[in-house]
Amino acid sequence: MTLRYGADEFLEKLDEVEEQLTRPDYEVVHPYEATVGCVLEGGFIVKRILGRGATAVALLVEQQNRQFVLKVARSPDSNARIRNEFELLKSLGWPQLIEVHALHEFDDLLGISMDHAGDQTLARQIREDGALDLTLLRQFGEDLLRTVRYLDENGVAHRDIKPDNIGVRVGKTKKRNELCLFDFSLAGAPAENISIGTPPYLDPFLCERKVKRWNTKSELFSVAMTLHEMATGSLPKWGDGRAVPSLTKGEVNLVGELFPSELHARFVFFFAKALRPNYAERFDNLEEMLNEWLRIFETIDEPVRPGPRKKSSNGSPPAIRRPKRFPDIPNWMACLNRWASI
């Protein structure tokens, strides 16, 4: 009996058969050309296009019945930024930070698989529902400030804090919604580069400094702008609102009526300090800013004493105190004596 193929040729034919048997019955698409329903290398099924930026595309994908976000570089030039973002987030661990899983290759492009930050961003929630109620405002503000404080303690600067980079999702305990900060593509940028970020959240007064260098107080400015938008549904303005803030040479215009009436003095004090043109006059650090934010909401369920309130010695509005039930009677015995004498 004569063999039809030699040993080497037989192995080649075997490889062809194996390739045909394992070839998927769908066309694999490049992430840059992805559309809803298509399949990427690795079996990722695209469920939604989340965004296309200058350096990356973000896709909601499904693999083995599990959904997550895939962020892929738009060109090989952005691969280093994708890798750096992955390594940075992999080194961190905080409940309100996006969690990354793995680094993937798609031909000459790198991508990151990560948790979904939520069904909507904070920006979308504000656009659709307006200012947050006091309960959510206190909670989400505390989420954001504690998260940025954690980053600062670990030497990490986000450099692009804004509602569009914050997701709203159900917390892991499923007891409440929480914020989730994502998109660390600008983290690690040189402090000398003061132009990166997103106006108007980017500190516009950086160019007025003698030493033009970004620092943590500029990060706090972005946080304050975000908090103001959460509290009022709008951004604060300088001057007539049309001029560049750094050219107005004045303080921020805060409309007290936009804040809850019983708390507007506290909100105005907080934002006036947080948004000062002179960064040396702003909050010194995240701990001070967080404490002042929480102080706004102290005793908000208690009745407010009528009449004007004076500022305390440090310039901040005093705490709201519960009025005495009998302000002109020192104790209950005096109350009984007065009643008996009637």
Question: What b/e readout covers 306-319, taking b as 16+ CB neighbours within 10 angstroms?
Answer: eeeeeeeeeeebee
Residue at 329 is within a domain: no
Q: Which pLDDT score is estimated for 269?
A: 96
User: DSSP states of 246-258 as a string?
Assistant: HHH-S-EE--GGG
Tokens at 161, concatenated: 């804090």
Q: Are residues 201 and 265 in the same domain?
A: yes
Q: Are 122 and 230 in contact (CB under 8 A)?
A: yes
CA angle (241, 243, 247) in 5-degree steps: 125
Q: Are residues 105 and 136 in the same domain?
A: no
Q: Are 123 and 230 in contact (CB under 8 A)?
A: no
Domain range for 85 is: 38-114
Q: Are residues 192 and 45 in the same domain?
A: no
Per DSSP, the chain holds a count of helices (H) and strands (E) of 9, 12
Q: Are residues 138 and 256 in the same domain?
A: yes
Type of residue at 250: G
Kindly report the CATH number assigned to the domain that includes residue 45.
3.30.200.20
Residue at 142 is within a domain: yes
CA angle (133, 168, 172) in 5-degree steps: 110
Residue at 249 is within a domain: yes
Q: Are residues 94 and 51 in the same domain?
A: yes
Q: Which pLDDT score is estimated for 316?
A: 55
Average confidence (pLDDT) per 10 residues, the chain, 342 residues: 60 60 60 90 93 91 94 95 97 96 95 95 97 95 98 97 96 85 95 95 93 96 98 91 74 90 93 96 97 91 42 50 37 42 45
Task: Name every residue whose Cβ is closer than 8 Å to that of residue 76 and which is 6 or more positions away in sequence.
Answer: 108, 109
Residue at 126 is within a domain: yes
Q: Which pLDDT score is estimated for 250?
A: 78
Q: How far apart are CA 31 and CA 74, in angstroms?
A: 8
Q: How many C-beta atoms lie closer than 10 Å to residue 339's C-beta?
A: 8
Q: Are residues 125 and 255 in the same domain?
A: yes
Q: Which pLDDT score is estimated for 336?
A: 39
Give which of 199, 55, 67, 227 is closest to 138, Cα–Cα. Answer: 227
Q: Tell which of 114, 140, 166 closes a domain.
A: 114
Kindly report the CATH number assigned to the domain that includes residue 259.
1.10.510.10
Q: Tell which of 114, 133, 160 closes a domain.
A: 114
Q: Are 191 and 87 in contact (CB under 8 A)?
A: no
Structural domain total, the chain: 2
Q: Which pLDDT score is estimated for 218?
A: 97
